Structure 1
Amino acid sequence: MTDGREMTKMVRLTPRCRPLNAAVLALGLAAGLGWTPGNGPAAPALAQGGGLFAPVITVNGLGISRYEIEQRMRFLQLLRQSGDLRKAAEDALIEDRLRTWRAKLDGMTASPELVDEGMTEFAGRANLTKEQFIAELTRAGVSEQTFRDFVSAGVVWRDVVRARYAGRVQITEADIDRAMLVEADRGAGTRVLLSEIIIPAPPEYAAEARELAGQVSAIRGEAEFANAAQQVSASATRDQGGRLQWMPLQNLPPALRPTIMALKPGEASAPIELNGAIAVFMLRGMDEGGPASTGAQTLGYALLTLGVPGSPEAAELAGRVARSAKGCDDLYTVAKSLPPSWLTRVEPAAQGAIPQDVGLALAHLDIGETTRLQRGGNEVLVMLCSREKVRPEGEAAPSRDAVRTQLLNQRMNSYADSLLADLVANAVIVRP
Structure 2
Amino acid sequence: MKAARTLGAALLGVSLAAMGAVMATAQEGSPFAPRMVINGQTVTNFEMEQRMLFLRALRAPGDPEKEALKALMRDRLGAQAAKDLGISVTAEQVKEGMEEFAARANLNAEQFTQALAQEGIAPETFRDFVSNGLLWREVVRSKFGQQIRISEAQIDRALAENAKTPQVQVLLSELIIPVQGDAVSPVLDQARAIKAETGSEASFASAARQYSAAPSAGRGGRLDWIPITNLPPAIVQKVLTLSPGEVSDPIVVPQAVVLFQLNGISDLESTMPAQVEVEYAQFALPPNLDPATIRQQADDCGDLYPLARGLPAEQLRVTKQMMGAVPQDIGLELAKLDPGESVLRNRGGYNELLMLCLRTGIPEADPAAAEIPVTTEESEAAEDKPAVDREALRNQLGNQQLTALAEAFMEELRSEAIIEER
TM-score, normalised via structure 1 length: 0.43
| TM-score normalised per structure 2 | 0.44
Q: Which structure would you say has the larger Rg?
A: 1
